[in-house]
Structure 1
Amino acid sequence: MKTGYRLPDVTFHTRVRDDSLEGPNPFRWEDKTTADYFAGKRVILFSLPGAFTPTCSTYQLPGFEKNAETFANHGIDAIYCMSVNDSFVMNKWAQDQKLETVTVIPDGSGEFSRKIGMLVAKDNLGFGMRSWRYAAIVKDGVIEAWFEEPGLADNHGEDPYGVSSPETVLEYLAEDAKGVAAE
């Protein structure tokens, strides 16, 4: 369990749209830190093996996007999707998925995933190093709740999905709200 764990300090190399730039690629590099994303907020962070992959693109990412308003009603300020992919890939995937609420975070070199203990080899699929699938509720940079798929291992033969689903996170938030209301 990583509950109570402070997220590692990492700098993410992102590409952001800059309308002051002309031409077909109006984006510039912008470094963002763990603090930029997590300080002073209660957020959902979920990570997955790769952009454009079947489970990630069909269920996990769309489920978090679709339920964004419900998450906000439970006190969630932002929803972040992280993957060990570069910013170009993550931005294109966000565009492909027509994201309006979920923000993608590129962990291109896997530094964040490694420091949080979730970097695994996926050479059996030709992926190289990737993140194990998980979700977390993070408050001001500290993990409040942790949802990790079973079987964390290099070159795992399966891609378990369920524990880190948006539905599971919503169930936790609903139960948490009941507990707070009862106090």
Structure 2
Amino acid sequence: MQVGYKLPKVTFHTRVRDESVSGPNPFRWQDMTTEDYFAGKRVILFSLPGAFTPTCSTYQLPGFENGFADFAALGIDEIYCMSVNDSFVMNKWAQGQVLENVKVIPDGSGEFTRRMGMLVRKDNVGFGLRSWRYAAVIKDGVVEAWFEEPGISDNHGEDPYGVSSPETVLNWLREEASGAAA
């Protein structure tokens, strides 16, 4: 992935809460496009191997959630968490993480992830096709900064984490802001 890359046009099948839907599951299907999420905004997108997994649930997602005010102060409009999981899984994970700031994007079929060049096999841990861990700063649908964990490969023996951490992205934004001010 390179800085300046325009995000692929993909439709995401999401489930959104709708109070007009009766019963124990008040959600309806709503298709969202790449443009719906990214057009006219400066956002952070981070993608990870799976909802409910230890590193994702303990460090990466909470770090972006808890640091939202710092990111917003540096010109970030939204923070999105993506995974090759369906909308039901992503919504339940978001609920369990008590998210107020980070929004989840389900890439259930892995189409967006594949077209980003980040789809890998994780059969060695029983996951099948998943996203390699990365983060990006995206402005109006174009990659402004890219943070990819090292060693991208199918069935990698480890789950590297650090390059795509909230702290790394925040440090880049701070350096970029201080450079722009100079």
TM-score interval for Structure 1 and Structure 2 normalised by the shorter chain: over 0.9
Work out the CA distance in 2 between the residues paired with 1:167 and 1:94: 21
Give the match for residue 36 of structure 1. 36
Instruction: Encode CA deviations 1:148-176: one digit per residue, 9 max, x unaligned.
Output: 00000000000000000000000000000
Instruction: Encode CA deviations 1:23-79: one digit per residue, 9 max, x unaligned.
Output: 100000000000000000000000000000000000000000000000000000000
Give the match for residue 67 of structure 2. 67
Give the match for residue 179 of structure 1. 179
Runs of 4+ that moved beyond 6 A: none
Matches within 5 A, 1:86-101: 86-101=86-101
Give the match for residue 169 of structure 1. 169
Work out the CA distance in 2 between the residues paired with 1:10 and 1:2: 19
Letter in 1 for 2:40: G
Letter in 1 for 2:64: F
Matches within 5 A, 1:43-122: 43-122=43-122
SS in 1 for 2:156: coil
Work out the CA distance in 2 between the residues paired with 1:88 and 1:178: 41
Alpha-carbon distance, 1:179 to partner: 0.3
Alpha-carbon distance, 1:11 to partner: 0.2
Work out the CA distance in 2 between the residues paired with 1:45 and 1:181: 25
SS in 2 for 1:94: helix
Aligned length: 182
Alpha-carbon distance, 1:2 to partner: 1.5
Unaligned stretches of 5+ in structure 2?
none
Letter in 1 for 2:109: S
Letter in 2 for 1:43: V
Work out the CA distance in 1 between the residues paired with 2:178 and 2:101: 26
Letter in 2 for 1:80: Y
Unaligned stretches of 5+ in structure 1?
none
Q: Supply the RMSD in Å over aligned alpha carbons.
A: 0.4
TM-score, with normalisation over the residues of structure 2?
A: 0.99
